Structure 1
Amino acid sequence: MILKCLLNCRPTSSWKHSKIFKILPRNLLTSEKQKEFPTRCDILIVGGGVIGSSVAYHLKEKVGDKLSIVLVEADDTYRAASSALSMGCIRQQFTVPENIYLSRYGMEFLEKSHHLLKVPGLDPTDVQFHPRGFLMLASEASRGQLLENFKIQIDAGAKVELLSTEAEIKSRFPWMNTEGITAGVIGTANEGWFDPWSLLMGLRQKALSLGTHYIRGEFTGITIKENTTTTNLNIACLNLKRDKEDVLHEIEFATLVLATGHQSGKIGKLAGIGKGKGILSLPIPVEPRKRFVYCVHVPNGPGRDCPIFCDNTGAHFRPEATPNIYLCIKAPTQEEEPHTCNLNVDYEYFEKEIWPRLAKRIPSFENLKLRQAWAGFYDYNTFDQNAILGRHPALKNIVLATGFSGHGIQHAPGAGRAVMEYILYGRYLTINLERFGFERIINEKPLYEKNIL
């Protein structure tokens, strides 16, 4: 195969984000009041991506002005944010029930987002949801695991259908080469894809409208306030870059939420996690992992009604709204993990590891043309690739919301609601996410997902 590359860039405001920038121009994202620097707050959120903004939204929606909330984000353009660079998929086909429940709430939130995220004076948020089931395929060797996954999903209330024979799959999807495939599971509801940028901006703008104070700056550390009469009141040091000048500010807080994505391991050490003794000697096991998304044109592809396709070889794709355009991805093996010093795209990886797999399974992909590609970072939890949520066992006024390992965009609504419940009530009221706590890292009891994408 000869790689046919038309464009060599990741998405820019001229492609993926153009519509949203027109709806939410820069001057609508802040206000004159937002330019003032607060010196004290009840809750300080570090990380203004989709997780942090969801936490702010759910807190403000619940208690309004009863709590002051400040959110710090280093880059409020979000040009390299994992949230904005995601494929924007949501699925219920997990094997950890908590993940299924988080996706189910995420789907409910997306369906109501035009109402939930409505801000007076602005157009309603349109997350551009496209309902489409995930199709998971299995060979004879992986058939048993697929059937086990299916039972877990059914027990957790997922809307999925089992395709138990190769003939059944071939009949349903005649454009597929089913050689070596013995079974499949397809979602029949509550799965699809949406525009992650729209969700991010909708959450941010709604949180702003409810009184969250967004600050552009970098979190640089915590100091304990001396001789204070207020318990659990610490000081966060923030490096703010304004007018090309670095200015160090301090803000007192009662509760700190770390929603810092792939930087969580590094940011955690600034907060003392991973630099102390005992429990504090354990760092947050989250680091950046780079993933590539390739946008291709397939003249005679399966069509826009094809499912979100997950081959048993690890390659998968989904259709775009534009006819014959598809987004393709494959998680690398440990040996193939790319460096994370930049967001450059590896086109050779597509040519050698993704294209051949897709072309073998879907013959029309033999004639694809690569249109565009970009890279983004996962907040990869090296311990067990699942989210880390809840208060830190040693630092009771620090709450963690990180480590989603590629599932953050779809689980952001549920994670935001969960953190809100944990902060306000000291426990989870809707979905019990205790198993996602930091304690499992201390006790060396990983919670593995058997259906990783």
Structure 2
Amino acid sequence: MALAQQRLLRLASVASSSTRTLHFSAIRAWQGFENERHYEPGEDVLKRTWHGLTYDFRRWKRRYQEARNDAFKRRHPIAHMKHSVMDHEVWPYRAEVLILGGGLTGSSTAFWLKERFRDEDFKVVVVECNDKFPSSSTMLSTGSLAQQFSQPENCEMSQFTAEFMRHTGKHLRVLDSEPPSLNFLPSGFLHLATTEEAANEMREHWKLQLNKGARVSLLSPVQLREQYPFLNVDDVVLASIGLENEGTIDTWQLLGAIREKNLTLGVQYIKGEVEGFEFERSPTSPEVHSLIDDAEEADEDKWRKQRVIGVHVRPQMTDASARPIRAHKIVNATGAYAGKIARMAGIGSALNGMLSVPIPIEGRKRTRFVIHAPDVPVDMPFLVDMEGRLHCRQIDTGHTYVVDLTPTPEEDKTINHEDPSVDYDVFYEKIWPQLVKRVEGFSTAKIKSAYTVLEDVNTFDSVPVIGEHPLYTNIHTMAGFGERSAMHSVAAARAYAERLYDGAYHTINLRRFDMRRIVKNDPIIEKYRY
């Protein structure tokens, strides 16, 4: 009997020890603070009051547990626990300006808003999606900076961007740290006109560029041969080249400097994905209901009788649900996804009326090839050929170039823009023969790498949409820059700050770029591409 009891006790001890070795990966209570219940103002007053009164205790407990699990803070967990609450620890429920998109356009908009009005109560929130950010046009941009355009607004924006880049140490410097370096590589863009008609247009555009203060020179074929003897210009009628304020910049360095400056100014960045908009409907009188007979008219009246008051954003974490963020102003700076985000607000989804006009911004696949050409002279300028479709830029002081070919509208329709794979036949069949034709040294060029980028292209006229919507005036669109995002985003962001604070553009007038031209079917034609 005693032996049987000993065996039972031994089995019980083994069972208890085995249960103690089991570990579960379930989230702990103090780690789930970001998924706490959110209470809107006026909703369940008692629970909302209790939630607010007990929040500090939950925050102290969470910080204490975080400090105990941190190698550098475990010695003083109580000191870490007493720190004041920070904005980036709390999911925002309201903002004066809510910016959708954390790329160069969205971050520049937040910078100019907080740079001019540094009030802590003026809350600016930037929503960015980590899944789409690495493939955005900002991160994969060539960083071209040019001043040769056929539209005066584009010339002015490029000149302002060049002046801003020249003084980044003043604008983006943080306290006593070193000023940011943008790795600016100065070089003029050489545009070639191979027909007499294109040469006449180039002369007219040259006069416009000079009137706007740009330094651009026209070169005849004889002058081209003297200045660049390695170029084959037998079929060239006229050429233009920028003498200053042209080159390439590192957009990654620029975006990083702006984001770091924004954090010191109080801008809050949150990781999330937009799932919809929040509307507030105004009461409709019975007389109006009696006048509406058709279902389509009733639907149109419903859209007109409401206004946008916020955005539903789903945090990028496990099993998170969308949460509302109320905002007075909403900036759609989502790049290639701007048209899709606008449709969530009903823009372009109605059958008639103002909401039947969509924002025609879509993602377009563009392929770029990085090549090494050791036999090409170092002083070769940035080449723009084939009526502005072929681009060849030097990305460092060596012999490395980035080349790409903008497809024609017919070719663009045949491209699968959702396929990120690289088509190397474009380089070998279309780009390389033209490069060798211009510069014989490209015959020994080798491809180092290739990548695709999803550019935000305005399918209406390839010019960005900058301005508020005619019906939902608190939604401001800033997208459609395409390959010109690096040189025009900063200037367009400053223009939005002027529009918000002063009520009008007073430096660069961008009223021509708003939705009115799309409603009136009056496109703006820009001849120069980069």
What is the TM-score normalised by the length of structure 1?
0.89
- Higher Cα radius of gyration: 2
Q: Secondary structure in 2 aligned to 1:167?
A: helix
Q: Secondary structure in 1 aligned to 2:117?
A: helix
AA in 1 matched with 2:508: I
1:192 deviates by 0.6
1:335 deviates by 2.7
1:225 deviates by 3.8
Of 332, 335, 347, the residue aligned with 1:273 is 347
1:253 deviates by 0.7
Q: Identify the residue that residue 334 of structure 1 maps to in structure 2.
A: 409
- Whether 2:343 is the aligned partner of 1:287: answer no
AA in 2 matched with 1:267: I
- Whether 2:213 is the aligned partner of 1:157: answer yes
- Whether 2:268 is the aligned partner of 1:213: answer yes
State the distance in 1 between where 2:376 and 2:203 align: 29
Report Cα offsets for 1:35-88 as digits up to 9, x if no partner. 320111111100110000000000000101252111101128832121010111
Report Cα offsets for 1:351-374 as digits up to 9, x if no partner. 111111111111110110000111
Q: Identify the residue that residue 359 of structure 1 maps to in structure 2.
A: 436
AA in 1 matched with 2:497: M
Q: Identify the residue that residue 10 of structure 1 maps to in structure 2.
A: none
Instruction: Answer with 294-303 or 71-80: which moved more.
Output: 71-80
Q: Secondary structure in 2 aligned to 1:118?
A: coil
Query: Runs of 4 or more off by more than 3 Å in structure 1?
Result: 225-228
Report Cα offsets for 1:146-168 as digits up to 9, x if no partner. 112211111221110111x2111
AA in 2 matched with 1:308: F
Of 229, 235, 249, the residue aligned with 2:310 is 235
Q: Identify the residue that residue 42 of structure 1 maps to in structure 2.
A: 96
1:143 deviates by 1.3
Does the CA-based 8 Å contact 2:281-2:307 persist in structure 1? Answer: no
State the distance in 1 between where 2:159 and 2:114 align: 22
State the distance in 2 between where 1:235 and 1:167 align: 61
Q: Identify the residue that residue 447 of structure 2 maps to in structure 1.
A: 370
Identify which of structures 1 and 2 has the higher relative contact order when contacts are C-alpha pairs closer than 8 Å and 6+ apart.
Answer: 1
Q: Secondary structure in 2 aligned to 1:217?
A: strand
Report Cα offsets for 1:196-219 as digits up to 9, x if no partner. 111111112211221111111111
Report Cα offsets for 1:107-151 as digits up to 9, x if no partner. 011111122111236442211111111111111332112112211
Of 177, 201, 220, the residue aligned with 1:145 is 201
Does the CA-based 8 Å contact 1:225-1:235 persist in structure 2? Answer: no
Does the CA-based 8 Å contact 1:256-1:398 persist in structure 2? Answer: yes
AA in 1 matched with 2:88: Q
Q: Identify the residue that residue 23 of structure 1 maps to in structure 2.
A: none
Does the CA-based 8 Å contact 2:149-2:205 persist in structure 1? Answer: yes
Q: Identify the residue that residue 472 of structure 2 maps to in structure 1.
A: 395
AA in 2 matched with 1:148: E
Report Cα offsets for 1:402-443 as digits up to 9, x if no partner. 111221111111011011111222211110111111111111
State the distance in 1 between where 2:310 and 2:391 align: 46
Q: What is the correspondence of 1:164-179 to structure 2 with a 5 Å cutoff?
A: 165-179=220-234
AA in 2 matched with 1:33: D
Q: Report the structure, 1 or 2, having the larger helix content.
A: 2
What is the count of residue pairs matched by the alignment? 418
Q: Secondary structure in 1 aligned to 2:105?
A: helix
Residue 121 to residue 245, structure 1, CA distance change in 2 (3 Å) = farther
State the distance in 2 between where 1:411 and 1:279 align: 28
State the distance in 1 between where 2:308 and 2:123 align: 14
Q: Secondary structure in 1 aligned to 2:179?
A: coil
State the distance in 2 between where 1:295 and 1:171 align: 29
Does the CA-based 8 Å contact 1:232-1:254 persist in structure 2? Answer: no
State the distance in 2 between where 1:265 and 1:77 align: 15
- Whether 2:272 is the aligned partner of 1:190: answer no
AA in 2 matched with 1:178: V
Report Cα offsets for 1:214-247 as digits up to 9, x if no partner. 111111111224699xx977121111121x3332
Q: Identify the residue that residue 153 of structure 2 maps to in structure 1.
A: 98
Q: Identify the residue that residue 490 of structure 2 maps to in structure 1.
A: 413
Q: Identify the residue that residue 169 of structure 2 maps to in structure 1.
A: 114
Q: Identify the residue that residue 5 of structure 1 maps to in structure 2.
A: none
State the distance in 1 between where 2:277 and 2:450 align: 39
Q: Identify the residue that residue 336 of structure 2 maps to in structure 1.
A: 262
State the distance in 1 between where 2:487 and 2:157 align: 8
Does the CA-based 8 Å contact 1:233-1:252 persist in structure 2? Answer: no
State the distance in 2 between where 1:410 and 1:79 align: 20
Q: Identify the residue that residue 4 of structure 1 maps to in structure 2.
A: none
Of 296, 309, 333, the residue aligned with 2:383 is 309
Unmatched runs of 5 consecutive residues or more in structure 1: 1-30
| Identical-pair percentage | 36
AA in 2 matched with 1:298: A
What is the TM-score normalised by the length of structure 2?
0.76
State the distance in 2 between where 1:113 and 1:383 align: 34
Q: Identify the residue that residue 379 of structure 1 maps to in structure 2.
A: 456
